[in-house]
Structure 1
Amino acid sequence: MSINSAAYIALSGMMATQVQMSVASANISNAGTTGYTEKTAQQEAVVNGGVAAGTTITGISSSVDAFLLKSLIASGSDTGAAKTADNYLDQLQSLYGTTGSSDSSGTSLGNTIASFEAALSSLESSPNSASLKENAVGALDQVVSQLRETSAGIQQLRGNADRDIAKTVSDVNQQLELIGTLNTQIQQASAAGQSTADLVDQRNTALQAVASEMSVSYYTTSSGALQVYSKSGQALVDSSVHELSYTPASTVTSSTTYSATPPSGFSGITVNGIDITSQLGSGSLAELVTLRDTTLPDAQTQLDSLASQLASTLNAVSSQGTALPPPSTLTGSAEVTAGTALSATGTVRFAVADQSGNLVSYQDLDLSSYSTVGDLVSAINGISGLSASIDSNGHVVISSTDSSDGVAINEMSSSVGSSGEGLVQWLGLNDLVTGTSASDIAVRPDILDNSSLLGTSILDSSASPQTGAQVLSPGSSTIADDLYSAMIGDTKFSAVPGIGATTSSFADYAAAIVSSVATQASQATTTYNNKQALQSSLSSTMSSESGVNLDEETARLSTLQNQYSASAELLQVLNQMFSTLLTAVQSAVA
């Protein structure tokens, strides 16, 4: 071997070692970089005509277990969904307040209802007490206000989820665009014979980011390009990038829903005009849709069940009573017209009484004699001292013609329609609360402003009462007793999502609602912790197989430095030999 050949071999070794040192240094400096994998420089011997001619670096690559990467990506989808569910259900649980060990502690619905029950219990002993009426009305207002606030909070969470869907779609699109850009760079680098390892790392990181938001499938083409598809098979990245499209709703209420077919309150998540909302699989984007369209509406349904049954039960009792002094006007809450059919039986008593509850006039009406609401209104108009009409909102209005007197009604044996409600309840003439759902339930405004209008008296139903006789008793506890009994007694609740059909008190049903949400939140936390642990385990396995081991890289760098020094010394020796040989040749010629 000539000195020149030996020098070239030493020089090529130095150059190859220098590249390997550079790779090792990059490994060390990027050890903490997310998605970075250990790089290795492939070194090969150069042989010319069967004679060793040095060494060269043929490429820089990293080794990633394809099966492990696929498992990690699938785990990312599940973890993304679990994290989103845990976050939102924790917020949902906080809307319901905290439970306490006694009726006076805690802020949950059950505790608030228990406070109302306690106020009614006190009212039973002194049903005409102004302060106790005020306490009862105030406690009821706390109950219905909490129902409204919780309902509003649920809808706010749905609105937040909808906006998060729009943001997540934007994030997914950014990662898809990055994958498309990296595909181009990888193909260009490969064609130029350059390393693509770092670019592939970046692309895998972007792919994992997409997978954490929605389920995807993928494969790498022979040209090195990565193609990505949604769970339903819609291309997200192929020869071009196909972005997701979504427009958030301007407002979100309990009536705002998603439908794959128009009309729909929420728009669909589309790719190339194709709606994939119901085909997202797992991931945070899919979970946000589930929360917005299923989980949170189910919570709203539970609240609505409580609110509607509470309104119906309280109004059924309050319709049997009247305030003392009696109100000069009663306005119904039901919407009717003069032509609305009246399918009713039994007798109802309408009376005019003075401020002390003494009878001014009255008449018992046989409801089977009237076929429409208009017929009934005309009959009421015929009672001395009363006027009746249907206002522009479709509500029956009954007033005393003398402003110093008031109106009192006893439902007696009246029964309207298949439900068998008394006439007063059917028309909503003496409701205690208004509204039919958790979003709009409220104490009747005039009672909230003036608690003396809380009807705890009952119009005398005895036969042929005499004018001037007291027909409204201030000392009767019947209505207060009935209200208390209705609250603590058994009420039938139909099955709703998360809670089966049951018979219980209102406080117990409220506790069941809170418990249902708490259970969901606890399960979501457990699921997230489990999914996160699995993903962490897979990440650790991936890191151990493809990540950077600082100790190994540091030792390798030290070895390479020694190799570089040895090659440099060899080259120096060869240079000295060549110089000595050149001097000898020059001397011989001279």
Structure 2
Amino acid sequence: MSLNAALNSAQLSLTASQKRISISARNVAGAGDTDYSRKLTPLVTRDSGVFASGPIRSSDTRLYERYLESTSVAARENVRLTGLTRLSETVGDTADETSLVGRLGNLTNKLTEYLNAPADDNLARAAVVAAGDMARALNDAAAVVDEVRAGAVADVKTSVDRINTLLQNFESANTLIVQGTVLGADITDDLDRRDAIVAQLSEEIGISVATRENNDMVLFTDGGVTLFETSARKVSATTDAGQPVRVFIDGVQVAGDAPQMESKNGALVGAVALHNKDAAQYGEQLDKLALGLIQAFREIDPTDPANTAPGLFVDRSNATALPANPADLAKNISVNTAVDPAANPAGTPSKLRDGIAYDYNTAENAPSYSGQLSRLLDQVGEKNTDLDNKTLLDYASSTVSWVESSRQSSDAAVKVNDAVLTLVTTSLSNARGVDLNEETALQLEIERLFTASAQLISVVDNLFKTLFDAVR
């Protein structure tokens, strides 16, 4: 090897070492950033010497895709669990008198006690108080349902706004990457920023990605709708009161009732499911329970059984007629003011025994009359077609069971998905993250190579000096 070739080789080695140590320093600086991927500068040997290529990123495409999926699934289930946990707080422990089942059981017990001593006005008042507790429990539960559904709507709006903002940020990052690729610039940090944006998008909605020429990326939902291709697509939602929430991407419905191309994961999907299905179904069950109460305590005309009227429980929006359907009954059910002195000074609890709309105690208002109370208890124990052919107590129990079962199922799903996400996140970090020990070892290696190259240059320099001295 000539002295010129040796000097050129040493200089190229120094240049490669300089680039490698610079990239290693970037890695050390980015070690604490979860969005940073380790940069590599592979050595390439050519006829003239050694060059440091790159930088290129450490990556694992399949792990990254699994990470996006796990993030979306975990986000969806966490949103649902939060709402279902709030709903489950309304049912309480069935062994507790403050639960829906407990209050219904207490009302039945108080009526039974009053039946056994119909002349006792204190027992009449106790039955009315128990009825009021039952009505307020349904009112409170309905208020929680409205609260959860309103919160879900707010979450949908927030999620839609965040997706649109992230898509605009993604467009800017993607443009820089495509331009940098064409120009041959270092785009590794830009790729990290773009991946971080995609990860944030996956929190809101299920994402799949495809990379084209010049590192141009296309985004799709997990249902196949294009989110980004050259430009961002518009995401919107309809949140009209009393209607199911619907989400659209570029005019295609992806979430809500009967979506055209359904998205399955992400916080946005979880919020829509919580509003349209979970909370709505529980609200419907509460309304049916309220309807069952009003029907069970209705009064029947003793002279014409075809005629009926509200009894102990009424729909406060129309207290003079039996409701035709259960809509909004849980929030509107109340105790008939005719028997409730707390709501009406003229309210008389004993009318529960004698009749509110009709007069049953016709035998000189006998204090020992119990016929109507007995009929009411019989009606409470009857199966009702409006309650899926169940009794009031059985339907209340099934409602409680449904809420708790849904919450437990969601809780189990959250635990499983969080464990999977933790595992995938750790694996992805190991695959593309920065190991400071590894970087330290690399820097020591580069230092030794740098020293060797510097010594070689020094030797060549001395040889050149000796040669020149000999020539002179």
Question: Is TM-score (shorter-chain normalized) higher than 0.5?
Answer: yes
Q: Which residue of 1 aligns with 2:137?
A: 146
Q: Which residue of 1 aligns with 2:43?
A: 43
2: CA distance between counterparts of 1:245 and 1:40? 41
2: CA distance between counterparts of 1:460 and 1:519? 45
* 2:348 equivalent among 452, 456, 463: 452
SS at match of 1:447: coil
Mapping for residues 10-159 of structure 1, pairs under 5 Å? 10-47=10-47, 53-100=48-95, 105-159=96-150
Q: Which moved more, 1:163-172 or 1:281-290?
A: 281-290
SS at match of 2:213: coil
Shift of residue 257, structure 1, vs aligned partner: 1.5
Q: Which residue of 2 aligns with 1:503?
A: 390
Q: Which residue of 2 aligns with 1:379?
A: none
1: CA distance between counterparts of 2:282 and 2:18? 64
Q: Which residue of 1 aligns with 2:423?
A: 537
One-letter code of the match for 2:76? A
Q: Which residue of 2 aligns with 1:257?
A: 243
2: CA distance between counterparts of 1:124 and 1:35? 71
Contiguous gaps of at least 5 residues in structure 2 = 317-322, 324-328
Between structure 1 and structure 2, the one with the greater Rg is 1
* Percent of matched pairs sharing the same residue: 22
SS at match of 2:45: strand
Shift of residue 509, structure 1, vs aligned partner: 2.8
Q: Which residue of 2 aligns with 1:479?
A: 372
2: CA distance between counterparts of 1:452 and 1:441? 19
2: CA distance between counterparts of 1:248 and 1:578? 82
Shift of residue 292, structure 1, vs aligned partner: 1.0
Say if 1:296 and 1:447 are closer, same or farther in 2 by CA, change over 3 A: same
Q: Which residue of 2 aligns with 1:190?
A: 181
2: CA distance between counterparts of 1:415 and 1:134? 28
Q: Which residue of 1 aligns with 2:320?
A: none
2: CA distance between counterparts of 1:150 and 1:581? 98
Kindly indicate whether the alpha-carbon contact (under 8 Å) linking 1:42 and 1:57 is maintained by their aligned counterparts in 2.
Answer: yes
Shift of residue 311, structure 1, vs aligned partner: 0.7
One-letter code of the match for 2:286? L
Shift of residue 554, structure 1, vs aligned partner: 2.3
Kindly indicate whether the alpha-carbon contact (under 8 Å) linking 2:97 and 2:106 is maintained by their aligned counterparts in 1.
Answer: no
Q: Which residue of 2 aligns with 1:291?
A: 274
SS at match of 2:169: helix
Q: Which residue of 1 aligns with 2:305?
A: 415
Q: Spell out, residue by residue over 1:168-225, the C-alpha distance to the aligned partner (whole angstroms, 9 max, x if none).
A: 1112122212221111111222223222222222222322322332233331111211
Q: Which residue of 2 aligns with 1:353?
A: none
1: CA distance between counterparts of 2:411 and 2:269? 18
2: CA distance between counterparts of 1:131 and 1:27? 80
Q: Spell out, residue by residue over 1:382-403, the C-alpha distance to the aligned partner (whole angstroms, 9 max, x if none).
A: xxxxxxxxxxxxxxxxxxxxxx
Say if 1:570 and 1:280 are closer, same or farther in 2 by CA, change over 3 A: same
Shift of residue 493, structure 1, vs aligned partner: 4.9
SS at match of 2:136: helix
Shift of residue 30, structure 1, vs aligned partner: 2.5
Shift of residue 63, structure 1, vs aligned partner: 3.7
Kindly indicate whether the alpha-carbon contact (under 8 Å) linking 1:460 and 1:472 is maintained by their aligned counterparts in 2.
Answer: no
> Could you tell me the TM-score, scaled by structure 1's length?
0.70
Kindly indicate whether the alpha-carbon contact (under 8 Å) linking 1:133 and 1:452 is maintained by their aligned counterparts in 2.
Answer: no
1: CA distance between counterparts of 2:264 and 2:360? 65
Q: Spell out, residue by residue over 1:41-97, the C-alpha distance to the aligned partner (whole angstroms, 9 max, x if none).
A: 1322343xxxxx333223111242323333332333322222222222112111222
Residue 527, structure 1, aligned to residue 420, structure 2: no
One-letter code of the match for 2:60? D
Mapping for residues 260-275 of structure 1, pairs under 5 Å? 266=245, 268-275=246-253
Q: Spell out, residue by residue over 1:228-267, the C-alpha distance to the aligned partner (whole angstroms, 9 max, x if none).
A: 1234544321111123123544xx4xxx022xxxxxxx5x
Kindly indicate whether the alpha-carbon contact (under 8 Å) linking 1:124 and 1:477 is maintained by their aligned counterparts in 2.
Answer: yes
Kindly indicate whether the alpha-carbon contact (under 8 Å) linking 1:76 and 1:535 is maintained by their aligned counterparts in 2.
Answer: yes
* 1:310 equivalent among 274, 287, 293: 293
SS at match of 1:97: coil
Kindly indicate whether the alpha-carbon contact (under 8 Å) linking 1:460 and 1:471 is maintained by their aligned counterparts in 2.
Answer: no
Mapping for residues 342-361 of structure 1, pairs under 5 Å? none
Q: Which residue of 2 aligns with 1:380?
A: none
Shift of residue 551, structure 1, vs aligned partner: 2.9
Number of equivalent positions: 449
Say if 1:106 and 1:9 are closer, same or farther in 2 by CA, change over 3 A: farther
Kindly indicate whether the alpha-carbon contact (under 8 Å) linking 1:457 and 1:474 is maintained by their aligned counterparts in 2.
Answer: no
2: CA distance between counterparts of 1:554 and 1:442? 73
Q: Which 4+ residue blocks in structure 1 deviate beyond 4 angstroms? A: 458-462, 579-582
Say if 1:415 and 1:26 are closer, same or farther in 2 by CA, change over 3 A: same
> Could you tell me the TM-score, scaled by structure 2's length?
0.86
2: CA distance between counterparts of 1:532 and 1:46? 48
Structure that is richer in helix per residue: 2
